[in-house]
């Protein structure tokens, strides 16, 4: 706390993003960092409402909103990918109907397998929310032709949506909403899949998509496991926001099951 307002510092290796209500506090912090570590390498500073951080462009120019862009990163991926797409080649979703089917076809030769692994890794950084990326990541040890076709579909979707940006805003900094669901036994080994999204108003601040580690015998059990999968993120988020000075109420929503009266409230308020 500086001047009764919080100085927030986010860092990743040698990249630092700091924010405070008063500009002079940030200038003093930058001077301190340079005095302490500038002998190793002179620090540089970017000021203003638009920042480039870890391959992302963070745009705070609209009050109450943050826009996240990764246009340069996506253009670089598309330019390096061996399959090229035309402007009229559109894919509306990152996955086809066969996403969860066990891959078929001949194993990829070494060169194409290395390309497959490289672009799956780059996709993980671009978007961890896509179930397509999660499924492809589980195939990197021995990808086959079917897996390659799924990757091509994902890249075509990136080509189709490269001008889209994520915009985040908050309706109430004291309320966080989580939406958790789990389709039952959708994997070839009869395991279910967890999907969860966190929002504070507009946009997904966090998202989870992962194959469940346990086999279960009903959709009810799958959804309970799904909530368990998301719970560490839910609790961490609450503790983080409380440390920022915002006591949090969590609202957890899950999918309405069949044969349940429509008047039933399928949400939990977690304090």
The H or E element containing residue 208 is strand 206-211
Residue 260 pLDDT exceeds 50: no
144: which 2 tokens?
């086959």
Checking if the pLDDT of 69 tops 90, the result is: yes
**Above 50 in pLDDT, residue 60?**
yes
CA distance 97 to 148: 15
Distances (CA, A) of 195 to 77, 98, 198, 258: 26, 18, 11, 19
- For the chain, the distance separating the N- and C-terminal CA atoms, rounded to the nearest angstrom, is 25
- Is residue 8 within 8 A of residue 20, CB to CB? The reply is yes
Going by C-alpha positions, the residue among 129, 118, 123, 203 that lies closest to residue 156 is 123
Rounded-to-integer distance, Cα 200 and Cα 170, Å: 5
**Would you give the distance in Å from CA 267 to the centre of its chain?**
23
SS3 state at 5: strand
Residue 34 has pLDDT above 50, yes or no: yes
Summarize the confidence of residues 221-244 as an average pLDDT. 93
Q: What are phi and psi of 5, to 5 degrees?
A: -130, 150
pLDDT of residue 128: 54
Per-residue pLDDT, averaged over 136-163, amounts to 92
pLDDT at position 54 = 84
Which of 41-50, 70-79, 95-104, 207-216 shows the lowest mean pLDDT across its residues?
Answer: 95-104
Who wins on pLDDT, 271 or 206? Answer: 206
Tokens (6 digits) for 24: 């002079």
Q: Which of 113, 174, 107 is nearest to 146 (CA)?
A: 107
What Rg do the C-alpha atoms of the chain give, in angstroms?
Answer: 22
Confidence tier at 96 by pLDDT (50, 70, 90): confident
DSSP 8-state assignment for residue 39: T
Confidence class of residue 78 from pLDDT cuts 50, 70 and 90?
Answer: very high
Alpha helices in the chain (DSSP H): 23-37, 71-80, 110-126, 131-137, 145-161, 219-243
Read off φ and ψ for residue 52, nearest 5 degrees: -105, 125
Residue with tokens 């920042």: 51
pLDDT of residue 102: 74
Length of the chain in terms of residues written:
271
80 φ/ψ angles, rounded to the nearest 5 degrees: -85, -20
Domain ranges of the chain: 1-47, 71-161, 171-270
pTM: 0.81
């Amino acid at each position: 706390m500086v001047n009764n307002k919080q100085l927030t510092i986010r860092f990743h290796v040698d990249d630092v993003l700091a924010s405070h209500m008063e500009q002079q506090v940030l200038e003093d912090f930058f001077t301190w960092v340079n005095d302490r570590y500038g002998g190793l390498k002179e620090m540089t500073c970017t000021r203003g409402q638009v920042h480039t951080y870890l391959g992302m462009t963070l745009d705070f120019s609209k009050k109450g909103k943050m826009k996240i862009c990764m246009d340069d990163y996506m253009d670089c991926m598309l330019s390096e990918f061996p399959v090229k797409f035309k402007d009229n080649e559109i894919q509306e979703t990152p996955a086809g109907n066969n996403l969860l089917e066990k891959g078929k076809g001949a194993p990829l030769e070494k060169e194409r397998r290395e390309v497959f692994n490289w672009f799956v890794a780059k996709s993980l950084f671009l978007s961890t929310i896509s179930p397509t990326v999660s499924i492809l990541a589980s195939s990197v040890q021995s990808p086959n032709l079917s897996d390659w076709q799924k990757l091509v579909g994902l890249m075509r979707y990136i080509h189709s949506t490269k001008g889209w940006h994520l915009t985040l805003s908050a309706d109430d900094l004291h309320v966080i909403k989580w939406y958790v669901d789990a389709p039952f036994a959708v994997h070839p080994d009869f395991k279910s899949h967890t999907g969860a999204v966190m929002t504070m108003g507009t946009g997904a601040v966090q998202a989870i998509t992962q194959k469940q580690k346990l086999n279960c015998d009903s959709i009810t059990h799958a959804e309970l496991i799904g909530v368990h999968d998301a719970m560490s993120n839910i609790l961490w988020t609450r503790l983080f926001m409380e440390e920022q000075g915002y006591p949090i109420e969590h609202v957890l929503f899950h999918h309405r099951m069949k044969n349940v009266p429509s008047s039933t409230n399928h949400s939990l308020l977690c304090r």
